[in-house]
Amino acid sequence: MSDIGALGGRVQLEDASSLDEMLVKVRRHRMHLSRLMNAHDSTRLVLGLLYLSRTAHSSPGTGVPTWSWLLGQPAGRGSGIRAAVSKCLSHWLPAADEQGADAGTRSLMPVPPPGSEGSLHALVQAIGSTQRVGSLLDQCLRDLSADQADGSHYFTPGDMARLMVGAAVPRDGHRVLDPVCGSGGLLVESHRYVRERVELNPTMSLQGKEQHAHTSQVARMNFAVRGITAHVFPPGDSLAEPEPESHDIILANLPFNQRGWAPEDKTEQGAHRSGPSVPVDPRWPEEPPSRGAANSAWIQHIAHALAPAGRAVFLMADSTANSRQPVTRRLRERLLRDDLVECVIALPPRVFGHTKAPACLWVLNRDKNARPGWGVLDRRQRVLFVNARRAFESVPGSRARRLGDKNTALILTTLAVWRGLSENGAAVAPYNDAAGWSRSCSTEEIADRGYSLMPTSYAVEPPIPERDTRSRVEKLKLELADQFDQMRGLELRLMDVLEEI
């Protein structure tokens, strides 16, 4: 190795070492803040400082606080640094509405408490001493996700985001929507995915919607720190109205099994009119979902918003794939009749830290035909099932699980081969079913099986004594979950009937 090469290697090692030290230092000071305020607010405060380090530079007028001004604040015991941080945040933070109609959203950022002066000053100096804030930002988002996981407001893990975006295959110029964007991770990954392929800043349209104002603000900060142009709508419920325009790509880490997802006056429209009921919402042309059927509502909301060649990838509870409830079964029948379902992937259990509930990844595609710029195989009237229940790895130093890069790549390769997709002009490899892993099925066969979309029913593992016992246990667990799901549905329908009396 040449001296220059050796020096470059040492610089990289030193950079990696200094970055690790920086991450540890920032986390230590954040932990100190979390003893003075709740952990969720302390993490958001650090995110706010990261945002300031990238945005609070140009002064539109005299006396406007900037990041340089904040860096120059002394480390005193008084309230000076706390007041300075609050002043900077209140001036620079993005409002809920990009036009500034709701500037009060800036006050959502927590106020630094007394006793936090030392940690605040240290955080400002640490952030100001590095240009590599991306890793700091990722760490803060992971910490924030862990802090609020108990409330089911977790953010999509990185490997899952790569799987979802890779399955959707966004292209430059596409209109991409995440109707439950959280911190904006799926849109960030879409931007990275396209940028790596075009080697330029993408011209795609990125749009996100988020119901919670705090999280909506986090998404705006996430995009701004990374220098990504994206539009985050004012906080609101995406299910309240149909999407006003169609999208080429829709990505969503959906909330499972929401209750009371829509106001009664919308779900009950036409229910008591004389004569045949006339649907008023284009998302459900045949029957509106009940108030307890949020999973069905989300799927139809997404399908309605797809462009003629649009694709959607979203997470969904296992029960929706195999529930025997008539309403859910009819939904699956309609999706197959319209040839929308392209692939369903059974994910490993416990890859989401907040829940042990099993989940599937659904892929919808409005155009499964072979065509230039897409796959060379006609996949109309066919669905690919991938049984990735065992495709996980342990997280070092913990009992947690993750999908991991290797398993993510294996799933994406299977889907790409089935589609007939290739990159860089390489020859398309032939697809073959793999026992216990993947199987390509016709919609006729799926109909014969009661329209079940559960991958483990099609890509069945070869029976061996130990595995067969585990399979029976897993099957019983799924059947029990299905029974619970039916009980919840009956309970909600009973409540609807009682409210009408």
284-313 residue pLDDT tens: 988 888 877 899 999 999 999 999 999 999
The whole-angstrom separation of Cα 249 and Cα 178 is 9
Q: Residue 398: which pLDDT band, with cuts at 50, 70 and 90?
A: confident
Angstrom distance (rounded) from CA 95 to CA 216: 9
What's the average model confidence in pLDDT over 263-279?
45
Between 474 and 141, the more confident residue is: 141
SS3 content of the chain, % helix, strand, coil (to 5): 45, 10, 40
Report helix, strand or coil for 231: strand
Could you report the per-residue pLDDT of 436-455, keeping only the tens digit for each?
999 999 999 999 999 999 99
Contact 393, 401 (CB under 8 A): yes
Predicted local confidence at residue 8, as pLDDT: 40
Per mean pLDDT, which range of 75-79, 103-107, 170-174, 354-358 is the poorest? Answer: 103-107
State residue 256's pLDDT score. 83
Average pLDDT over residues 56-65: 72
Supply the pLDDT for residue 64. Answer: 85
Please give the pLDDT value at position 497.
Answer: 62
What CA–CA distance (Å, rounded) separates 340 from 54?
42
Query: pLDDT at position 390, please?
Result: 92
Find the angle CA(390)-CA(358)-CA(461) to the nearest 5 degrees: 35
Q: pTM for this structure?
A: 0.83
Provide the pLDDT for residue 148: 62
CATH superfamily for domain 149-268+277-491? Vaccinia Virus protein VP39 (3.40.50.150)
Q: Is the pLDDT assigned to residue 495 strictly greater than 90?
A: no
As a whole-number percent, the residues of the chain with pLDDT over 90 amount to: 49
Instruction: Pick the range with the lowest mean pLDDT from 5-9, 286-290, 337-341.
Output: 5-9
pLDDT band at 270 (very low <50, low <70, confident <90, very high): very low
Give the residue, 42 or 462, on which the prediction is more confident: 42
The residues facing 175 across adjacent strands are 205
Strands 175-178 and 247-253, sheet pairing: parallel
> Residue written as tokens 């986090």?
218
SS3 assignment for 111-164? CCCCCCHHHHHHHHHHHHCCCCHHHHHHHHHHHHHHHCHHHCCCCCCHHHHHHH
State the pLDDT at residue 4: 33
Lowest mean pLDDT among 23-37, 102-116, 303-317: 102-116
Tell me the pLDDT tens digit for each residue of 218-239. 899 899 999 999 999 999 999 9
CA distance 111 to 221: 17
- Residue 75 vs residue 421, higher pLDDT: 421
Chain segment 197-211, per-residue pLDDT in tens: 998 899 999 999 999
Helix (H, G, I), strand (E, B) or coil at 271: coil
Assign 173 to helix, strand or coil.
Answer: coil
pLDDT exceeds 50 at position 267: no
Domain limits, the chain: 3-147, 149-268+277-491
pLDDT for res 139: 84
**What's the mean per-residue pLDDT of the chain?**
83
Q: Is the pLDDT of residue 217 over 80?
A: yes
**Per mean pLDDT, which range of 56-65, 162-171, 480-489, 491-500 is the poorest?**
491-500
134-141 average pLDDT score = 84
